[in-house]
Amino acid sequence: MTDTICVGAIAGAFGVHGEVRLKSFTSDPLAVADYSPLSTEDGARLFDIEITREIKNGFAAHLSGVRTKEEADALKGTRLYAPRDRLPNLPDDEYYHADLIGLPVFDAGGVELGKVRAVQNHGATDLLELQVPGKSSTVLLPFTLAAVPTVDLTAGRIVADPPEGLFD
């Protein structure tokens, strides 16, 4: 498990006074500011965050040390991370995406189906994107209790009962 979790990303400048467009990846989108200061992935920069208003696809926000549109534009695409210990503990049946990525997925017989490459959500439910050994394409496994009965973070593995024909 990682020491930091990605909780947001900067989508570019908003206006001409150094505000940024901020995308939140937290379950309560406004909570992204509660975990401030947030760091860049490499930890080189820390930002205190003040959300100023809601905008389409996120928030307008002031970041400490960012005063101009040019400085805000230069941060476009920057992911923002919070220390894991500042985030809430999750119930037993919920997981941070960062904890799932990279885990091997096995069927009930112990055969490896693949490794979790990403966690996606297109509206209905979360999907585990699996990189299948020996294939260049990926498979999307529904992240439901029926299809994924066991997630064992301690052992570092997932046991799946995929829908019929998914891996054909």
Tens of each residue's pLDDT in the chain, 168 residues: 468 999 999 999 999 999 999 999 888 899 999 999 999 999 999 999 999 999 998 999 999 999 999 999 999 999 999 998 888 888 888 888 888 999 999 998 999 999 999 998 877 788 999 999 988 889 999 999 999 999 998 899 999 999 988 887
What pLDDT, on a 0 to 100 scale, did the predictor assign at position 166? Answer: 86
| Torsion, Cα of 5, 74, 33, 27 (10° steps) | -50
What pLDDT, on a 0 to 100 scale, did the predictor assign at position 122? Answer: 77
What pLDDT, on a 0 to 100 scale, did the predictor assign at position 2? Answer: 64
d(CA 99, CA 1): 6
Supply the pTM of this predicted model.
0.74
Query: What does DSSP assign to residue 31?
Result: G
Buried b / exposed e over 50-63, threshold 16 CB at 10 Å, is ebeeeeeebbbbbb
Could you give the domains of the chain?
4-86 (2.40.30.60), 97-160 (2.30.30.240)
d(CA 150, CA 72): 42
Residue in the block written with tokens 């476009």:
76
55 in Cβ contact with 23 (< 8 Å): no
CA angle 100, 106, 110 (to 5 degrees): 145
